[in-house]
């Protein structure tokens, strides 16, 4: 069975997309990128709770930058899942745009 993101919340999927776009993905940087995308404040606790869930489910790897800061990187599972999601969305959009 291939990895998917269909069971993740939209917020969790957005975190994966943000992590894929940032050069160095750390908690507050991810939070700032989400706030820029949403155009509003994002609760810090919500970000870290969802980062932990994504690590536990194998979508992100966490490593220490220093004693207080962790970085997050996409795993092979998340890369495959994002690619599958992209193909699914593209197929739906192509169908709507062709009609």
Q: What is the pLDDT of residues 52-79, one digit of tens each?
A: 999 999 999 999 999 999 999 999 999 9
- Say how far apart CA 48 and CA 60 lie, in whole Å: 12
Q: What is the pLDDT of residues 31-59, one digit of tens each?
A: 999 999 999 999 999 999 999 999 999 99
Query: What pLDDT does residue 72 have?
Result: 98
Average pLDDT of the chain is: 92
Alpha-carbon separation of residue 90 from 12, 18, 30, 96, 99 (angstroms): 20, 19, 26, 10, 14
pTM: 0.87
């Amino acid at each position: 069975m291939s990895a998917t993101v269909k069971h993740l919340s939209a917020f969790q999927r957005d975190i994966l997309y943000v992590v894929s776009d940032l050069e160095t993905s750390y908690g507050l940087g991810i939070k700032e990128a989400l706030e820029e995308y949403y155009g509003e404040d994002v609760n810090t606790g919500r970000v870290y709770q969802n980062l932990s869930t994504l690590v536990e489910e194998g979508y992100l790897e966490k490593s220490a930058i220093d004693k207080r800061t962790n970085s997050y990187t996409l795993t092979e599972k998340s890369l495959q899942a994002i690619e599958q999601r992209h193909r699914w969305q593209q197929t739906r959009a192509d169908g709507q745009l062709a009609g």
